Amino acid sequence: MARIVVISTGGTIASRWQGSGFAADADGNEVIATAPLPEGISVELVDLFSVNSPRLTTAHQLTLLRTVHEVLADPGVDGIVVTHGTDTLEESAFLLDLHHHDPRSVVFTGSQRPMGTADGDGPGNLYDALLTAANTRGLGVLIAFAGRVHAARGTVKTEAVALDAFADPSKELLGKIGFGKVTILRAPQRPAALPLPAMPQLPPRVDVVVHHTDGDPVLLNAALAAGARGVVLVGTGAGNATPEIVDAVRAAVERGVLVALTTRVMAGPVTEIYTHGGAVDLVAAGAVPTGTLRAGQARIAVLSALLATDNTAEQARVLRVALGEPGAVLVEA
């Protein structure tokens, strides 16, 4: 009998009608009661919180991270399922994956339709997540959704309301679920796990700034003025902006701000091709390219680096480890 712990955090899978719209208000027992249990699996519950995922904070996510590590301290647990809202699921899953060193799987799931609806997808997704948690090992943190298995790293929400809501636009599908079986198609690439971070009273501020036609440094500088210790610049194309933004990035890095560079394009890596404000110049100014990670997960990587150390040089090193750069290693403090 596989012993799986479900950690309930809210989201659409725990949502009901509130008179003008849906919101999370069901507890974990109600969520679990919606789904049949796969044969040979017993379920235990940690009812952590019940919030809409756009309202999640870093404090929520760090609480979830520590709760997962506490649950896995019990060697009798075979795996974990986290029920979570889909809006920020990709961020929480990636945070846990960055710090996950256990062979047992942590599987995120949720739903696109509220609980209790006739065509709701929550029960099926929860069933599949339980099956995945019980039958996979050594794959890190996973996402089970709409009959598919995704690696946390690189997977984003690609559909606002459609049921098949998640994908990694830059990689092949990790696995499939059907007829009571989980089929894994490839092994995800994962760097060494980062140490578990402390729980700061005030987490570091990390902002996201998007470049566009007529873009200038105003929003980037506003983020710095607001106290941002990290910034994710979302460039155009392969990670491009303007000479003025390059100057602002250079000034931010010189002040000890950790700057990461991603792109607003759906698939493909940030690549140093263009100058005159392009990725060539942004990287030379100190921005760290994030490969195929998009804004939400790039922000989590920056956050993890800032939580790891107060040393600015070491923060950049930790960020490169989180990004999985070849040859990037942690230095013992």
Active-site residues: which are they?
Answer: 12
What angle do the packed helices 312-322 and 295-308 form, to 10 degrees?
140
Q: Which two tokens stand for residue 8?
A: 């309930």
Tell me the Cα Rg of the chain: 20
Indicate the length of the chain as a whole number.
333
* Sequence letter at residue 53: S
Q: How many helices (H) and strands (E) does the chain have?
A: 9, 16
Distance (Å, rounded) from C-alpha 175 to C-alpha 185? 5
Sole residue written with tokens 């980037």: 220
Got the DSSP string for 126-159?
A: HHHHHHHHHH-BSS-EEEEETTEEEESTT-EE--
- Of residues 96, 98, 105, 107, the one with CA closest to residue 61: 96
Sole residue written with tokens 């607003």: 264
Distance (Å, rounded) from C-alpha 275 to C-alpha 191? 30
Other C-beta atoms closer than 10 Å to the C-beta of 86 total 23
Distance (Å, rounded) from C-alpha 255 to C-alpha 275? 23
**In whole angstroms, what separates CA 247 from the centre of its chain?**
30
